[in-house]
A and B are shown apart, each in its own frame.
Chain A
Amino acid sequence: GQNIDQPTEMTATEGAIVQINCTYQTSGFNGLFWYQQHAGEAPTFLSYNVLDGLEEKGRFSSFLSRSKGYSYLLLKELQMKDSASYLCAVFDSNYQLIWGAGTKLIIKP
């Protein structure tokens, strides 16, 4: 079966750095996404990785290792507004998005 694992919840301090991990087992791979979702709102796109390595975009970076079936989202200089759920999703061989359950990130002052 297809499976995506990410921690249920994480807590971090304002101004700090946090890394949210995601591991996947899917039938084929055509890219991995990270989305941010605030409570009661739809997901918003953060990043897309299809090749191995680190993609940096401002305070957010995303890393992918296809051989390990592993990705992480790195958030720097955390702000209170970063409190949200972060969803990992993978395009399988049919370009169908397989979703993780999301990681709820709690930022404390």
Chain B
Amino acid sequence: GAVVSQHPSRVICKSGTSVKIECRSLDFQATTMFWYRQFPKKSLMLMATSNEGSKATYEQGVEKDKFLINHASLTLSTLTVTSAHPEDSSFYICSARDVGGELNEQFFGPGTRLTVL
């Protein structure tokens, strides 16, 4: 099956710093990538939809200036958490939709555990 990677898998940073998370589709092209956040014992919450070559679409309540998304190529999207604070500590997961696949084909990355001290 299609593979999506995320880097880093785990990051610990100080409050006020910025953290960049990469999401790559390894063996397929993804015009659309999704960024989710998941707090402990909670379901996935969609943060934004990232479209290659255009601006990301953010969900209500998600600050676009704090969570910067760039989808510069068909295989890479990045999420930058700017001026991170402890409340941003969470599990961030990306998923990618295969350009050539059925609409129901959405593949998840392994997730990035962010801890802000």
Contacts and interface: CB of A to CB of B under 8 A. Distances in A.
Interface residues on A, range: 20 to 34
A48 interface: yes
Nearest to B91: A40
Interface stretch (B14-22, B71-79, B80-88, B100-108): B100-108
Contact of A48 (B43, B104, B111): B104
Contact of A41 (B45, B107, B111): B111
Interface string B84-117: 0000000101000000000110111111010000
A101 B93 contact: no
27 contacts: A30-B103, A31-B104, A33-B104, A40-B111, A40-B113, A42-B110, A42-B111, A43-B44, A43-B93, A43-B108, A44-B108, A45-B107, A50-B104, A87-B43, A87-B44, A91-B103, A91-B104, A96-B46, A97-B34, A97-B46, A99-B43, A99-B44, A99-B45, A99-B46, A100-B43, A101-B42, A101-B43
Interface of A: 30-31, 33, 40-45, 48, 50, 87, 91, 95-97, 99-102, 104
| Closest 10 pairs between A and B when the two form their complex, measured CB to CB | A101-B43, A42-B111, A42-B108, A99-B43, A99-B44, A42-B93, A42-B110, A48-B104, A102-B43, A95-B103
